[in-house]
């Protein structure tokens, strides 16, 4: 018998045991409209970002778990590694992938609802921001789809607005794998089968957010992150898709290639709302779930919304950067759509080549390249390098008409076509005029005893 893999419930227990201050049980009644988001917002304003379990959500039958990945410390706990090694775990998982194992007996199939039993109003009706649509959303929605050409399954996260008892809208960005799969089904005139999974261990979420080639099955990345095969089970509607066996809730159905619906506005991870748009319609044919399931929520725009995608995005950017320039050393992403790369360059045109390569990514809008002795995570050092090493007429590059994301509030195009910018803040290999950095003789620096100077001996 396959040993149970870590799931949402084991992670809740792990946090309660290992990081007690990170676990908050909220037993008083809270509203799913704005109040859960307000509670987390006030906590984050005080530099706290705990995992929250709302036991009594007004008008809802299920407890709501949110902010599982709201701190890098908890993500490291989920991966079983030190905080400093989270990025390395992604590199290791990509190099040492572990295929999932299919099982027949799965907790997520303890209850199966079909026909008239399919009712999305059973889910807690979560609304986050004053300017959002009044309709509730699913945010912790891992979508499983299969490429009809290659047969490879794809995992990804997408917001879903609940339209009625059986239907949602599904937002898919151009340039992402799921949108490409959807376009293949649309060309065939066939609805796209999907499974929407809710209630997962953070390692599963992190693996699903892995950004690699389209022929990579993210279940294998999840196995690599966990160091063991992920148990999966086949969906009950005959689509042939597989879902994590220990998930809390799964919605099964098809995305129409002929029907769309009004969707949004919705406040996104950037901290800004996207306007109303139209999205394809997902029709739910079955709901399967564990007995007494938890409902997992990601509060849009909260710390978790940003942090969950950060390890995968940093790994992808570093991987692509090193493929272009072997002298790349480190990466930091201090803001949405912004990367800072440190490197030891071999030629003065190398930073521009690196910038152009990285800006091909839809989530890359600004790329700054600094020398290897500049810490890309230290904004004071980065801004100093920009100020002292950059001439705007020769080392600032603007690229128009590039594919970005419409989630960027400044993007003028609903298709995400935008302008992008790169800044070369590296020193020239040969200075145009003599330049030396301020330097204290090392023997003098080493001889200074601060404890003695400050009278602490």
Highest mean pLDDT among 48-57, 329-338, 429-438: 48-57
Q: Six-digit token pair at 454?
A: 């400050």
Q: Six-digit token pair at 14?
A: 């792990």
Structure confidence at residue 174 as a pLDDT band (50, 70, 90):
confident
Structure confidence at residue 268 as a pLDDT band (50, 70, 90):
confident
Please indicate whether residue 241 or residue 132 has the higher confidence score (pLDDT).
241
The answer on pLDDT for 343 being more than 50 is yes
Measuring CA to CA, how many Å separate 323 from each of 206, 227, 295, 326, 357?
A: 23, 26, 40, 6, 10
Domains, the chain, with CATH or none: 8-302 (2.30.110.10), 310-425 (3.40.1670.10)
The answer on pLDDT for 132 being more than 80 is yes
The answer on pLDDT for 4 being more than 70 is no
CB-count exposure of residue 9 (10 Å: 0-12, 13-18, 19+): middle
Residue given tokens 């152009």 in the structure block: 356
Q: What is the pLDDT of residue 430?
A: 84
Q: Report, as an integer, the average pLDDT of 186-208.
A: 96
Query: CA 234, CA 298: separation in Å to the nearest integer?
Result: 26
Q: Are 375 and 381 in contact (CB under 8 A)?
A: yes
Bridge partners of 331? 341
Please indicate whether residue 333 or residue 312 has the higher confidence score (pLDDT).
333
Residue given tokens 């339209």 in the structure block: 163
In the three-class reduction of DSSP (H, G, I as helix; E, B as strand; rest coil), residue 358 is classed as helix
Q: Report, as an integer, the average pLDDT of 408-419.
A: 85
The answer on pLDDT for 197 being more than 80 is yes
Please indicate whether residue 131 or residue 197 has the higher confidence score (pLDDT).
197
Q: Report, as an integer, the average pLDDT of 288-304.
A: 90
Give the mean pLDDT of the chain: 90
Q: Report, as an integer, the average pLDDT of 165-181.
A: 92
What is the share, in percent, of the chain residues with pLDDT greater than 90?
63
Please indicate whether residue 59 or residue 86 has the higher confidence score (pLDDT).
59
Q: Report, as an integer, the average pLDDT of 347-352.
A: 92
Question: For the chain, what's the residue count?
Answer: 457
Query: CA 15, CA 12: separation in Å to the nearest integer?
Result: 5
Structure confidence at residue 252 as a pLDDT band (50, 70, 90):
very high
Q: Six-digit token pair at 109?
A: 């199939």
The answer on pLDDT for 212 being more than 80 is no
The pTM of the full predicted model, rounded to 2 decimals, is 0.82
Structure confidence at residue 84 as a pLDDT band (50, 70, 90):
confident
Listed residue (213, 228, 199) closest to 99, CA to CA? 228
The answer on pLDDT for 367 being more than 70 is yes
Could you write out the three-class secondary structure of 100-116?
Answer: CEECCCCHHHCEEEEHH
Q: Which residues contact 121 (CB under 8 A, 6 or more apart)?
A: 162, 165
Query: CA 140, CA 205: separation in Å to the nearest integer?
Result: 9
What is the H or E stretch that residue 207 is in?
helix 202-208
The answer on pLDDT for 249 being more than 90 is yes
Structure confidence at residue 2 as a pLDDT band (50, 70, 90):
very low
The answer on pLDDT for 1 being more than 50 is no
Q: Six-digit token pair at 256?
A: 């129409």
Q: Report, as an integer, the average pLDDT of 211-231.
A: 90
Q: Which of 6-10, 53-57, 247-251, 410-414 has the lowest mean pLDDT?
A: 410-414
Structure confidence at residue 406 as a pLDDT band (50, 70, 90):
confident
The answer on pLDDT for 414 being more than 80 is no
Q: What is the pLDDT of residue 3?
A: 52
Q: Report, as an integer, the average pLDDT of 324-352.
A: 90
What is the share, in percent, of the chain residues with pLDDT greater than 70?
98
Structure confidence at residue 16 as a pLDDT band (50, 70, 90):
very high
Q: Which residues contact 407 (CB under 8 A, 6 or more apart)?
A: 173, 268, 269, 270, 274
Structure confidence at residue 369 as a pLDDT band (50, 70, 90):
very high
Strands lying side by side in the sheet with 242-244:
101-102, 231-234, 242-244
Chain centre to alpha carbon of residue 156? 9
Q: What is the number of other CB atoms lying within 10 angstroms of the CB of residue 337?
A: 22
């Amino acid at each position: 018998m396959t040993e149970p893999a870590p799931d949402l419930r084991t992670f809740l227990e792990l946090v309660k045991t290992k990081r007690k201050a990170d676990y908050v049980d909220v037993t008083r009644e809270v509203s799913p409209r704005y109040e859960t988001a307000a509670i987390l917002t006030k906590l984050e304003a005080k530099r706290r970002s705990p995992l929250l379990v709302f036991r009594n959500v007004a008008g809802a039958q299920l407890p709501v778990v949110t902010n599982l990945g709201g701190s890098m410390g908890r993500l490291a706990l989920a991966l079983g590694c030190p905080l400093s090694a989270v990025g390395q775990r992604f590199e290791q998982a990509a190099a040492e992938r572990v295929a999932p194992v299919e099982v027949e007996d799965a907790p997520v199939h303890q209850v199966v609802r079909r026909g008239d039993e399919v009712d999305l109003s059973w889910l807690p009706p979560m609304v986050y921001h004053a300017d959002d649509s009044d309709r509730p959303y699913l945010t912790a929605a891992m979508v499983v789809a299969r490429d009809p050409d290659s047969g490879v399954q794809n995992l990804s996260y997408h917001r879903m607005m609940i339209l009625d008892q059986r239907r949602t809208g599904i937002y898919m960005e151009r340039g992402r794998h799921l949108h490409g799969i959807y376009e293949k089904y649309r060309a065939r005139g066939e609805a796209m089968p999907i499974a929407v999974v809710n209630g997962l261990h953070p390692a599963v979420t992190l693996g699903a957010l892995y950004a690699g080639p389209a022929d990579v099955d993210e279940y294998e990345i999840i196995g690599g992150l966990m160091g063991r095969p992920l148990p999966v089970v086949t969906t009950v509607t005959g689509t042939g898709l597989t879902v994590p066996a220990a998930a809390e809730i799964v919605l099964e159905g098809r995305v129409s290639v002929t029907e769309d619906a009004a969707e949004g506005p919705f406040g996104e991870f950037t901290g800004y709302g996207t306007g109303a748009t139209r999205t394809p319609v997902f029709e739910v044919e079955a709901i399967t779930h564990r007995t007494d399931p938890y409902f997992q929520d990601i509060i849009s725009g909260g710390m978790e919304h940003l942090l969950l995608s950060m390890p995968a995005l940093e790994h992808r950017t570093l991987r692509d950067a090193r493929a272009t320039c072997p002298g790349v050393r480190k990466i930091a992403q201090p803001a949405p759509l912004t990367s800072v790369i440190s490197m030891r360059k071999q030629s003065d045109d190398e930073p521009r080549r690196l910038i152009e390569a990285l800006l091909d990514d839809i989530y890359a809008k600004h790329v700054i390249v600094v020398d290897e002795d500049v810490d890309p995570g230290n904004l004071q050092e980065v801004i100093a390098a920009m100020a002292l090493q950059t001439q705007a007429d020769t080392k600032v590059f603007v690229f128009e008409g590039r594919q970005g994301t419409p989630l960027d509030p400044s993007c003028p195009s609903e298709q995400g076509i935008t302008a992008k910018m790169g800044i070369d803040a590296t020193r020239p290999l040969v200075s145009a005029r003599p330049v030396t950095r301020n330097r204290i003789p090392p023997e003098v620096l080493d001889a200074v005893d601060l404890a003695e100077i400050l009278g602490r001996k």
